[in-house]
Structure 1
Amino acid sequence: MEVSETIGPSRRRAMEIIENSLFKNAITTLIVLNAITLGLETVETLPPLLHLGIKFFDIFVVGVFVIELLLKLYAHRLDFFRSGWNIFDFFVVGVSILPGSGPFQVMRSLRVLRVLRLLHVVPMMKRIVEALFKALPGMGAIIAVLAVLIYASAVMATSLYGRTDDPDVHALFHDLPASAFTLFQVMTMDGWRNEVVQKVMDDGHPYAWIFFLSFIFLASFAVLNLFIALIVEALQAEQDERTEEAIEQIEDEIEDTEEKMLKKGDEILGVIAELKAEIAELKASQDR
């Protein structure tokens, strides 16, 4: 690395440690084990001795994470904060070392955020999360389309079904916010038939199913599937980008190998030329 040529030996050593595969695997293992112990800590029926062991293990894990963070800070200095993942690690470790009582008692529940470190420690998870972040701008446009669809449908539903004497239907569609919330429930298909559509049909709207099925088709099957398509496209773009980087790296290695082979070929030709010259000299000396 070019940066390693401009730093001192101690910082270079710190960088080698944090980039070492064994060190990374050890951190990953600790994150997984800590996730298990955080879950076990919620089981009240565990023996007190086991709870004590979990507490000491938690302190050990936090200590290792602090050492890792200090090594990264020492190796990268202010460049450490250029990475969003590093800032997230800094926040998680900072929350872990805060006391779990008094005004900081709510911070104790945030310890579970340590598990989320797996999202960037494991390469495959990191790729998926980065692809999701890249898809956020497109998601905003889809959310806007979905909001417009729900708003227009809520206005229609309030006008069609809000003026009724049935208390159940009135509670569902008596105003615009209530209609929008009901349609959101229909979009998620959570009890949409018995809790919404059937009540509206029993209230004297036998063809209400046409309205709700049309809404489900547009909102659930069409618009929501756009989210899936967008995420898949982002993942594919991420994979294509990594493939291009791998191809460029291979091409650079091939070029370096070719240059080395050409240099070695020139050296071999030089040796052959020297041997021929020596042979010619030997022949000349024999002729004398």
Structure 2
Amino acid sequence: MKIIAYGFLLHPGAYLRNRWNMLDFVIVVIGLFSTVLSVLDQKGFDVKALRAFRVLRPLRLVSGVPSLQVVLNSILRAMVPLLHIALLVIFVIIIYAIVGLELFAGKMHMTCFHNRTDEMAFDDPHPCNLDKGYKCNSSENLVCKKGWTGPNDGITNFDNFGLAMLTVFQCVTMEGWTTVMYNINDAVGNMWPWIYFVSLIIIGSFFVLNLVLGVLSGEFSKEREKAKARGDFQKLREKQQIEEDLRGYLDWITQAEDIEPETEDGDDEDSPGRQRKPFVYYILFFLFFNQKRKKRKEIVAS
């Protein structure tokens, strides 16, 4: 129906001149091709590979919903600014990973053990320290010493650069960052580590990551304005086209009135009036077909 309403390819505004319609057309053609091959049962050709393209069928919805097109276009246009923001996020993570590596390396492997059995005192262990931070209760025969892999099976720590970056990234996403801070406080004391984590959350989460939302919001506003401008221009074009068609109809009516009427006895077959009739019928049919085509186009667009 869209191909009939808009045309296929050659003229401006045709069906395949829109990239979302091109995606829709490719998905439909692949689906029809795979169906035909499965019906014909062609051996030697793997139809399952084509059936994998069925996952793209939900994307056909994009070609019929202009608001989805605006959202996806804004995301695609925001890729380059988002790449710059990603580089800034990586830079912040590297800086804080280096600082954490210098301050907290090897600090999260001491926990409380039973003095007699050398077993960990708690099912959910946490770091401890002999001087500052969390101290084990000596009255319960507990002693703070090394031998623990660390929180999250030794993943959350600052022992090397890779794990330090992973820990900083976890804090930037604000997923369990308070637990990491409390573990550091238990390991080294709570006098100054909060400065490290609070500054990381302010700079990394509240500022840098929110730039992503700002970029997406800006690109979405631009794309929405462009879509509105395209819609207004299309309406203006259609209005001008209707006015041109009306002027053409009036000119045709004026010329048709100049055709000599038939006499009572009838005109000769070679008379000008009888020769003009096929051309007049052709023009009427063409105008009727063009009007129906415009109505179908309006129905499809709505």
Q: What TM-score bracket applies, with the shorter chain setting the length?
A: 0.5 to 0.7
Moved over 6 A (4+): 79-82, 88-98, 106-109, 261-270
> How far apart, in 1, do the equivalents of 2:5 and 2:250 lie?
39
Q: For structure 2, which runs of at least 5 residues remain unmatched after alignment?
A: 8-14, 39-45, 111-147, 256-302
> How far apart, in 2, do the equivalents of 1:262 and 1:109 lie?
52
Question: Aligned pair 1:203/2:187, yes or no?
Answer: yes
Structure with higher helix content: 1
> How far apart, in 2, do the equivalents of 1:126 and 1:81 lie?
8
Give the Å deviation of 1:90: 6.8
Question: Aligned pair 1:154/2:64, yes or no?
Answer: no
Corresponding residue of 1:120: 62
Corresponding residue of 1:217: 202
Relative to 1, partners in 2 of residues 1:125 and 1:248: Cα closer, same or farther, differing over 3 Å?
A: closer
Asked if the contact 1:135–1:230 (Cα under 8 Å) also holds between the matched residues in 2, the reply is yes
Deviations 1:193-239 (A, max 9, x none): 12x11000111241212211111111111111111111111111111
Give the Å deviation of 1:264: 7.6
Corresponding residue of 1:251: 236
* Aligned mate of 1:138, from 61, 81, 85: 81
Whose radius of gyration is greater, 1 or 2? Answer: 2
Asked if the contact 2:27–2:57 (Cα under 8 Å) also holds between the matched residues in 1, the reply is no
Question: Aligned pair 1:178/2:163, yes or no?
Answer: yes
> How far apart, in 1, do the equivalents of 2:193 and 2:162 lie?
20
> How far apart, in 2, do the equivalents of 1:234 and 1:134 lie?
7
Q: Please give the TM-score of this superposition, normalised by the length of structure 2.
A: 0.51
Asked if the contact 1:95–1:110 (Cα under 8 Å) also holds between the matched residues in 2, the reply is no
Deviations 1:120-161 (A, max 9, x none): 244122321222111111110000000111011101111111
Identity among equivalent pairs (%): 18
> How far apart, in 1, do the equivalents of 2:181 and 2:19 lie?
55
- For 2:158, the aligned partner's letter is F
Q: For structure 1, which runs of at least 5 residues remain unmatched after alignment?
A: 1-12, 20-74, 99-103, 271-288
Matches within 5 A, 1:54-133: 83=22, 113-114=55-56, 116-118=58-60, 120-123=62-65, 124-133=67-76
Deviations 1:20-41 (A, max 9, x none): xxxxxxxxxxxxxxxxxxxxxx
Relative to 1, partners in 2 of residues 1:108 and 1:154: Cα closer, same or farther, differing over 3 Å?
A: farther
Query: Larger RCO: Structure 1 or Structure 2 (Cα < 8 Å, ≥ 6 residues apart)?
Result: 2
Tell me how large the CA RMSD over aligned residues is: 4.5
- For 1:203, the aligned partner's letter is A
Question: Aligned pair 1:232/2:217, yes or no?
Answer: yes
> How far apart, in 1, do the equivalents of 2:177 and 2:102 lie?
19
- For 2:94, the aligned partner's letter is Y
Give the Å deviation of 1:243: 1.2
Q: Please give the TM-score of this superposition, normalised by the length of structure 1.
A: 0.53
> How far apart, in 1, do the equivalents of 2:33 and 2:6 lie?
19
